[in-house]
Amino acid sequence: MRCRLGSVAGGDPTPVHQCVAPSEAYRWPIIPDPLRAGATRRGGSRFTAAPSFATLWLAWRTRMVPALPTPQLRSPVTTRSLPLSIPEPRESGYTTTTPVPLYWARYGPPDARTLLVLHGGPGAHHDYMLPQLLELTDNYQLLFYDQRGGGRSRTDDPQPITWRTQVNDLIRVVNEFDLEPLSIIGYSWGALLAMLHALDAAHDPARIRHPQRLLLVSPGPISRRLREEFEAEMLRRQQSPELLAMRAELAESGLRESDPDAYRQRSFELSVAAYFADPRRAKDLTPFRVTGKVQKSVWDSLEHYNLAPDLDTIRCPSMLIHGRQDPIPIESSETAASQLGSRFIVIDDCGHVPYVEQPERMFKAARTFLAETDSLLARRGLHG
């Protein structure tokens, strides 16, 4: 593979200290946000505990870069909030062709086109993309899997998990489920994983099935430089007086003793608040854990990476979605979209988690892209 690689950009809302056949060129124009309406939410409850992000693995970095405006932070509501409920998958199991069995789950009608969904991390699991992404299951099957080292795909193998490990696993998952045409939705690190896989497929099309379309949501930074800018911006946001005041209010609220579950939920919300344009929306993100050693080993394996120079070798329809208040520099997604020839959507009043923060806008854009590319795939005789 010809791209210059190094430490991968995660950019995911993760409390990282936890052990928690190429198609023809298809070029999209850059267009503005398609919808200005407000977001809607779905109800329910589900919880996995996560502590504060206050350990700030970023804190050793002392230099700062020009920063985005601090998102407007509002006073927290200390009454109990519970995560949204997640329905059981239509079917689930473990892969049989990967070196480590990987947990997978499938939602949606069995006769619909399949979209393979790649979660963020690395070292996380798919649950935190639910239930919101099930919005697409009226027209599509969604196939999720927990990447090696996270969620229900944990392993005791002492060998470090690298970016190559994750790409090779993805190749095997695609083949095991015979995903043709291959349609991928990648979120954050998962969007980077999708691009790394597509770059390998462009370089070795005889061995690796090339994606026929890519929907990349809040992609992690595409170079080490942009990763460092993201880290500096996250440090600035985490140390803002508003967030420090929220943490202090929680510490003095007595919630730890009076309602431990509510305290853990609120701690999780504050641990990811800096990723959101409005931190109150964090309550609708399903809590999750990241396996810290997996996250570190993947980043370390990528060293001084830069995907930008080779992204123009990926030839398939694609769309990138980026929140204007995402701590990841918008330059990263702009450059990726330009190199890919992608449709590029910027959503206002939105941070790193558009499927939670602005679901109506995100899903409207996603549905438009998927419907248009469905027609394109049908004209090519690809109906899987």
Residue 321 has pLDDT above 70, yes or no: yes
What percent of the chain stands above pLDDT 70? 78
Q: Which of 174-178, 247-251, 317-321 has the lowest mean pLDDT?
A: 247-251
User: 305 pLDDT exceeds 80?
Assistant: yes
pLDDT tops 90 at residue 34: no
Mean pLDDT, rounded, for 353-357: 98
In a domain, 160, yes or no: yes
Which residues form the domain of 338? 91-379
Contacts of 105 (CB under 8 A, 6+ apart): 89, 91, 92, 126, 143, 144, 145
The confidence score (pLDDT) of residue 379 equals: 84
| Rounded Cα distance, 261 and 255, in Å | 9
Distance, in Å, from the CA atom of 244 to the CA atom of 269, rounded to the nearest integer, reads: 13
8 occurs within a structural domain = no
Q: How far apart are CA 279 and CA 273, in angstroms?
A: 5
Quote the tokens at residue 339.
């190199």
User: Do 342 and 28 form a contact (C-beta atoms < 8 A)?
Assistant: yes
3-state secondary structure of 43: coil
Residue 291 tokens read as 């396996």
5 within some domain: no
**Res 142 pLDDT > 90:** yes
In the prediction, which pLDDT does 230 show?
A: 95
Q: What is the pLDDT of residue 383?
A: 67
Q: Is the pLDDT of residue 162 over 50?
A: yes
Instruction: Report d(CA 218, CA 187) in Å as an integer.
Output: 6
One DSSP character per residue, 103-115 reads: EEEEES-TTSEEE
Rounded average pLDDT over 5-27:
37
Mean pLDDT of 76-92: 74
- pLDDT, position 382: 73
pLDDT for residue 70:
44
The CATH number assigned to the domain holding 147 equals 3.40.50.1820
Nearest to 39 by CA among 348, 382, 375: 348
pLDDT at res. 81 = 62
Q: Write out the two tokens for 221.
A: 């930074």
Structural domains in the chain (count): 1
Does residue 45 form part of some domain?
Answer: no
For the beta carbon of residue 128, count every other beta carbon within 10 angstroms: 28
Q: Is the pLDDT of residue 66 over 70?
A: no
pLDDT of residue 211: 96
Looking at the predicted structure, is the pLDDT value of residue 271 above 80? yes
Give residue 221's pLDDT band: very low, low, confident or very high (50, 70, 90): very high
DSSP assignment of 237-304, as one string? HHT-HHHHHHHHHHHTS-HHHH-HHHHHHHHHHHHHGGGSSSGGGGGGSPP---BHHHHHHHHHHH-S
Which whole number is the average pLDDT over 68-76?
44
Indicate the average pLDDT of the chain.
82
Q: What pLDDT, on a 0 to 100 scale, did the predictor assign at position 146?
A: 97
Rg (CA), the chain: 20
Burial class of residue 92 in the structure, from the number of CB atoms within 10 Å of its CB (0-12 exposed, 13-18 middle, 19+ buried) = middle
* Nearest residue to 249 via CA among 273, 233, 284: 273
Say how far residue 381 (Cα) sits from the centre of its chain.
Answer: 30
Residue 68 has pLDDT above 90, yes or no: no
In a domain, 84, yes or no: no
pLDDT at 145 over 90: yes
Mean pLDDT of all residues in 12-23: 36
- Both tokens of 364, joined, read 């409207």
Let me know: does 131 contact 142? Beta carbons within 8 Å: no
Average pLDDT on 321-337 reads 97
**In this structure, are residues 9 and 230 in contact, taking their beta carbons and an 8 Å threshold?**
yes
Residue 190 exposure: Cα atoms within 13 Å on the Cβ side: 26
Cβ distance 191 to 216 under 8 Å? Answer: yes
Q: Which helix (H) or strand (E) holds 196?
A: helix 189-203
- Name the residue with higher pLDDT: 7 or 103: 103
pLDDT exceeds 60 at position 33: no
Q: What is the largest CA-CA distance in the chain?
A: 62
State mean pLDDT over 30-56.
34
pLDDT at 297 over 80: yes
Q: Is residue 266 part of a domain?
A: yes
Mean pLDDT value of segment 289-293: 91
Token match 């449709």: residue? 343
Query: What number is the average pLDDT over the span 54-83?
Result: 41
| 80: in domain | no
| Average pLDDT over every residue of 2-12 | 41
Is residue 26 in a domain? Answer: no
**Residue 360: which residues within 8 A CB-CB, separation 6 or more?**
35, 37, 38, 39, 40
Averaged pLDDT, 90-111:
97
